Structure 1
Amino acid sequence: MPPGGTGGSGGGTGGGGGGKRPRSTADKKYRRANILTAAAAVLVIMIGAGIVGGTYFFDDVELPTPQAEEQLNKILNTKGQILAKVGEPRVNVPYQNISLTMAHAVAAAEDKNFYRHNGIDMKGIARAAWNNFTGGDKQGASTVTQQYARHVAELKDISYSRKLREAVIARKLESKYSKDQIMGLYLNYIDLGQGRLGAEAAAQGYYNRSIVKGGSNGLKEIDPYQAAAIASIIKQPYPTATHKGYDPTINPTDAEDRWQYTMKNMLAEGWISQEVYDKRQWPKALTKKTSQKCETCWEGKPSQMISRQVTHELHELGITDDQISKGGLTITTTIDPVVQKAAEEAGSRTSKESPLNGRPKTYQAAVIGIDPENGEVLGYYGGDDGNGIDYAGYMSGDGSDVMESGGQSPASSFKIYTLTAALKADYSFNTLWDGTKKRANGTSISNAGQDPGKTCQTGNHSITGCDLEQATVKSYNFPFYWITDQLGVSKVVSAAKSAGIRYIWNNDGKRIDLTKTDASTWDKNFSAEIGFGQFRVIPLEHATGVATLVGQGVRHKTHFIKKIQSIDPNTGKTTNLKTISTKGERVLAEDKASDLTAVLKQIPDHANHSLAGGRQAMGKSGSWELSQEQSSKNGDAWFVGGIPQLAATVWVGGKGNRVALTEASGKKMFGSNTPAEIWKRFIDTVAKEKGWDKAQFPDRIRTGDDSKGNGVAPPPEPTVPDNSAVCNSALGSLLCPGTDNGGPDNGGPGNGGTDNGGGTDNGGGTNNGGGNNNDGG
């Protein structure tokens, strides 16, 4: 048989080599497609020559110096003062001082030919073009110089024209700057994950090393293995939906694979020896980021708790963790330094200015100040330990959400929402309520130890016919129970929700989210006692509701962030990322809000805590018992309210566990005691320091139906007729007995007078004109 035949040793169909297989029709079509594709790639490059030519003459390639600390997230107060710096500062290293180990590792990872080309890697471009046209992964084919050119030229879009423009700018960079200069600028600019911009920040953050030759500031110089690991991050520093990236602390498996690639290229280029390569071991990165301290920051201070609210709000605004970790955000908060200082000084028992100073260590306060005109939190105190429990907002340490076990019983301070519900249902403050009426189960309604005989005795009222206005000022419970009973629990809860309450805890300790539930859930979880504040709420949310009513029925979303700006990583320019809306929503009609305000304005004076200079204010106190077993002791005490410029909410209770609250005198603490003192000191201090005028609330407009209560109006007092004219007439002695007080017929001495109660047996007669046994004349 001829060579190559069946079974032979040649290259036939069953052989192992030799002759060529004839081309099929499919093969020919595939070859033609490849030729056309290659031609198209060359054509695109040639067409781009026009773009190249134009770009060359018009693009400015002055290199901006990367700014130190540019990638930090800065948190500011309203005065622009720094409250916090979050992240790690950029540390610019002069190119002359950069370790060749670091420079070579980056070249090995990103651009092996960096030291040989003139800014453009033509082989890379051709390879990328071929891959893109044949349907492979879209490749950039960018040299290190081109990558930096993209930064300089503010180029973002992935397009072929952009790639050509980068190439031209890169060529101009290469003609103006040395390789070491370009590499140095690149290393100071590049993003290496976790908000670490620049190789020095990455070296310190991941390995506690420096890229400076010989080391710097007590840190050793980075070694080849660590340098290669950092350089390998450049390909993709942050996770995406399709790949976890190459951050060694997030995706060590792929990061190590990329590291092997970089190490191999370092060996191939002669940048490390065979011995170093053979001894390579994957360098495990540090996982804990170091915090940056500054003297003006809130770290270790009570204001540090605000950071949790800021983080929570960033997420609510759609700012992702990736955006936060990349850095470059400038977050201006609503915190006013004057109000913040006043809140801390009034609320912290460690402050000599606080009414809690010197009180037991188990006592804790929360003080919150909100601008009722826009919902901005101006001051926020929730405890002395910035990393401890947030007693003002009960926000978790990571800022993810409110703690499941948060909240405190608002007691009578919650009555402002019951009143809101009543006013919406057209109840007037003249409605009368019966304090003797018992619940359906036969139990009486407690009024915190009030003597029933002294309840509602002001004016022509009694305990069975007590008007709502007096009951509000003196904080009787029974009208609020019966209003809730009449309206239904859900109406009161709805009023609280519309004012700003989101979470309320039931008696089983379950947190009910009012924004995700409806009336059917509320009726099942709460009883009519909600009308006078039995169920726990968050102080910050209660402060929102208070601000709504101080703001005359307009609710604004309570917020800690005023605006967010970001640094464009390509241009270094600051742009507005988010501006917070302060638009309000009316939840209580103006006339009804004025009616409520007029009643609440009486309470600060009633509690003996009028503001300095007679400044007009509205308020409401509240006190809740320690437990059912210890109902004679209070475990929560509140005073809430404010002035037209500031809504203030104060809570006092136990730090950690609930405790029995007493005054320094040993007497039982009520909301109108120490909490009211804190509230007064807070507002007085802020108003004085801010130089606010004595703003007035709107004049009262009385509203509602007087007949909606369940009380009985007392009978009118009997009127005594005026008989003076008759009694002074000639018939006066007959028609008005006793007028002359001692006349012959009126029981005077010796003249008992049988017809007028005299006589021996009736107390008159000879002795005194009185009677020995009965009331005489």
Structure 2
Amino acid sequence: MDTEKSPDHDETPAETGNAAKRPRRFRKLVIILAVLASVLGIGAATIGYYISTVPVPETLTLPEATVVYYSDGTTEMARLGDQNRTVIDTTTLPPYVAWAVMAAEDRSFETNPGVDLGDLVRGAVGGADEDGAATITMQYARMAADLSDGSRPDVAVMAWKLDDQYTKAEIMGFYLNTVYFGRGAYGIEAAAHAYFKKPATSLSLGEAMVLAAVIKSPGDSAFDPSVNRRAAQDRWAYIRDGLTHAMKKLSADEAAALTYPETFVKWSPNMPSSTSRLDRPTGLVVQQALSELRQLPEFRDKPADYLRNGGLKIVTTIDKEAESLAIALADETANRSHLAGKPKGLRAALVAVEPGTGRVLAYFGGHSGTGADYAGWYYDEHGTPTGYGAHPPGATFAIYDVAAALKEGISLKSYWDASRVKAFPRSGRTADSPVRENVAADCQPTCTLLQAARAGLTVPLFGLTEQVGMPKVLDMARAAGVRDMWARSAGGITRVDLRAAPDQAVLAQFGTEVGIGQYPVTVVDQAGAMATFAAGGVRAQTHFVKEVTKAGATVYAEKLPTGATERVLSAAAVADLSHTFQRRLADGQDAAVVNGTWQYADSATDIAHAWTFGYTRRLAVAVWTGNQAQERPLRLADGRRMTADTVAGPIFRDFTVQASKALGLAHEPFGPPAFLGDASAGNAPPPR
């Protein structure tokens, strides 16, 4: 077989240059239009209108699948779009791909004028094919007319115009990128992957013939080899005979040597044709990535469906192994999950961020990307905030209290009132509504800041927040990476944007209760803030997208660091902060670990939210556990009350250890504490 031949080789008279062929074709067009007008009774004005309104390929925007990848840029996470299509340069295809399609659909394609005049005449008296598109050019004209935003022109007139303006190779290229092949695949590239898991440039002749065979009836899979093997093989043989006898593209020996491919992908009409994979846990990663892109200047003014139908390659920051670990440990349906065997309705969320870059390495917000996101929120395609990932952080906010205190020169050795019940009139907590302590500690009733923070004591942390000032605690959380916080308003719970330094209008929505974690925040923000402390106090903006390209050209690339580069906290203060929450993990590495809970309703004993988060020098992780959809007391199956260390703690520890190993992260010990600040700056004298 001569594999160097192509549909536009020199032996085909119709394939001379456009400039040479147009006078001849124009004369032919005038004659045919006259015949058409006579047979069908179309007036000259109508013919002129059709010609002027024909949509040509340059005016069409083909829906083209956008593919989302893991951070390696090669492992596919999801495929988006109304149509699974990847537009390619069809001149790079082996010529026999076009031959196979011609043999199946239009054996005179290389020489006909784009229409079958006899079919048109038969159509005038009711005897033509139902779709009225016998030639490949007419088939493409019909598809293009359906894709056009304008009024639909006569398909025959459009086909003649196409044949007059474009070469046969160009028209075949339009057709191959547009036509439907079944299995949800539009265009030859998507079809090659759907049937053979390879690019179209790698198709063999036999495989190209399998794809050409399905074009005749793709919607019902009548010629899909997995659905109707006999019909598919018969159609394949019909194409082989056309290539050999009618088109003379193959010799008899070459045709005899062809065998029907046996390595096609098995498929059934009962299988979902969608390849989006948004119904998986990683679907929420996709939602977060798309939301992030919609806020960028490069995409902000694009049409609503541009990201999913724009033929983009989106490379996320998500590491495949880390993501798999997060799903295995936090997904309630996974066998390895710490939620396995727990009461129905219990949910977990986990986010891991890389210190120094802000890259989200793992994100688990729920079992399905089409369901609730318990780790964060995102803007959907219509700009609507979507998600369920804001939860009261409770005593975990101690880390921001301590960080703010260290920045203000208060020492970990300072002493604080840790009474079981204490009023704070200045903050509106009078004797009628005092702050109550639900945790017992050996240091009570007077504890150092170090002791109070490690124990998660409510009363001294409230006193610390009042003394430092709620605005400074709030600003520390904001500067570290808490981008949103929810406050109560007349309309219910309202999200407050903290991306800019809070002004008086923002501060007025919060009270000293910020310091004890009353106001909800997201899991992804908590992880991002921990990454700031892990990086020695320097913040990098948390983000999900590394790069976006289209047809090989870069449309967007992350800039590291992507956020503020100013130091949130001095290195010495971070050393004190890390020392406050320091633990030793099972693999021997140092980690700062913060636990916290928030009560259920007004209960003094039941909790509705449990957190564990923290960081090593190389990884920041936040884990939340709570109930689906609405707050309920967290109980085990046997009725025992849950704590932060029941589920969230084991998920945090197992993930941090296993992910550190999977990512090849070196163990770096924390430095010694500096014990900065004034030891006399507390609100209580040292115990006697």
Same-fold call, TM cutoff 0.5: yes
> Do the aligned residues in 2 keep the contact of 1:114 with 1:144 (CA within 8 Å)?
no
> Which structure's relative contact order is higher, taking Cα pairs within 8 Å and 6+ residues apart?
2
Distance in structure 2 (CA, Å) of the matches to 1:498 and 1:104: 57
Alignment of 1:522-671 (within 5 A): 522-567=506-551, 574-583=552-561, 585=565, 586-601=567-582, 604=583, 610-628=584-602, 630-663=603-636, 666-671=639-644
Amino acid at match of 1:553: G
Structure 1: distance between partners of 2:641 and 2:324: 29
Q: Equivalents in 1 of 2:179, 2:569: separation in Å?
A: 51
Q: Is the 8 A contact 1:635 1:654 kept in 2?
A: yes
What amino acid does structure 2 have at the position aligned with 1:410?
Answer: P
Q: 1:627-683: per-residue Cα shift (whole Å, max 9, x none)?
A: 11x231000000000212211101010111111113466432221332111111111
Q: Is the 8 A contact 2:140 2:178 kept in 1?
A: no
1:305 aligns with 2:305: no
Task: Measure the CA separation in 1 of the matches of 2:647 and 2:68.
Answer: 33
CA contact (8 A) 1:370 1:544 kept: yes
Matched, 1:144 2:160: no
State the partner residue of 1:274: none
Kept in 2: contact 1:484–1:531 (CA 8 A): yes
CA gap of 1:648–1:592, structure 2 versus 1, over 3 A, is same
Unaligned 5+ residue runs, structure 2? Answer: 1-18, 21-61, 87-96, 107-133, 146-152, 192-211, 224-270
- State the 1:214 CA deviation: 4.6
- In the aligned structure 2, how far is the partner of 1:77 from the partner of 1:590? 33
1:187 paired to 2:188:
no
User: Residue type of the partner of 1:582?
Assistant: L
Q: Give the superposition deviation at 1:404.
A: 8.0
Residue type of the alignment partner of 2:450: E
SS class of match (1:395): strand
Structure 1 position 361, deviation (Å): 1.1
What TM-score, normalized to structure 2?
0.65
Q: CA deviation at 1:187?
A: 2.9
Alignment check: 8 A CA contact 2:289 2:544 kept: yes
Picking from 427, 432, 447, the partner of 2:437 is: 447
Select the residue among 401, 416, 429 that pairs with 1:433.
416
CA distance, structure 2, for counterparts of residue 626 and residue 595 of structure 1 = 33
Q: Deviations over 1:46-87 (max 9, x none)?
A: xxxxxx99xxxxxxxxxxxxxxx9942111112321111112
Distance 2:475 2:179 in 1: 49
Of 57, 63, 67, 1:74 maps to 67
Contact 2:365/2:389, CA 8 A, preserved across alignment? no
Question: Which residue of structure 2 aligns with residue 83 of structure 1?
Answer: 77
Mapping of residues 451-490 of structure 1, within 5 Å: 455-457=441-443, 463=445, 465-490=446-471
Alpha-carbon separation, structure 1, partners of 2:496 and 2:279: 33
Q: Deviations over 1:537-563 (max 9, x none)?
A: 111112211221222211111111111
CA distance change for structure 1 residues 422 and 560 in 2, over 3 Å: closer, same or farther? Answer: same
Aligned-partner SS, 1:577: strand
- Distance in 2 (CA, whole Å) between partners of 1:302 and 1:619 is 26
Question: Secondary structure at the residue paired with 1:613?
Answer: coil
Amino acid at match of 1:445: V
- String of CA shifts for 1:564-594, please: whole Å, max 9, x gaps: 1111xxxxxx111111112152211111111
Shift of 1:479: 2.2
| Counterpart amino acid of residue 144 in structure 1 | Q
Partners of 1:355 and 1:212 lie apart in 2 by: 47
The alpha-carbon distance between structure 1 residues 198 and 404, as it changes in their structure 2 partners (threshold 3 A), is: closer
Distance in 2 between residues matched to 1:113 and 1:546, nearest whole Å: 61
Q: 1:513 to 1:347 in 2, by over 3 A?
A: same
Partner SS for 2:377: coil
Q: Normalization by structure 1: what TM-score?
A: 0.58
Offset at residue 714 of structure 1 (A): 2.4
**Partner of residue 685, structure 2:** 712
SS in 2 for 1:506: strand
Residue identity in the other structure for 1:334: T
User: What SS does the corresponding residue of 1:480 show, helix, strand or coil?
Assistant: helix
Q: Distance in 2 between matches of 1:199 and 1:350?
A: 37
SS in 1 for 2:590: coil
> Which amino acid counterpart does residue 72 of structure 1 have in structure 2?
A
Q: Given residue 174 of structure 2, which amino acid in structure 1 is its aligned partner?
A: Y
**Separation in 2, partners of 1:339, 1:486:** 41
Instruction: Compare the two structures and name the one with the higher strand fraction.
Output: 2
Using the TM superposition, give the Cα deviation of residue 600 of structure 1 relative to its aligned residue in structure 2, in angstroms: 1.3
Residue 215 of structure 1: CA displacement? 3.5
- Give the % identical residues: 26
Question: 1:594/1:298 Cα in 2 relative to 1: closer, same or farther (>3 Å)?
Answer: farther
For the residues of structure 1 that align with 2:387 and 2:326, how far apart are their CA atoms?
Answer: 26
Give the direction of change, closer, same or farther, for the CA distance of 1:695–1:324 in structure 2 (3 Å limit): same
Query: Of 322, 330, 336, which residue of structure 1 is paired with 2:313?
Result: 330
- Counterpart AA for 2:403: T
Please tell me whether the aligned partners of residues 332 and 339 of structure 2 are also in contact (alpha carbons under 8 angstroms). Answer: yes
- Cα pair 1:553 1:589 within 8 Å, conserved: yes
CA, structure 1 residues 534+218, in 2 after alignment: closer, same or farther (shift >3 Å)? same
> How many Å apart are 1:396 and its aligned residue?
5.8
- After the TM superposition, which parts of structure 1 deviate over 4 Å for at least 4 consecutive aligned residues? 103-117, 189-192, 195-202, 210-214, 396-399
Structure-2 change in CA distance of 1:372 and 1:526 (3 Å): same
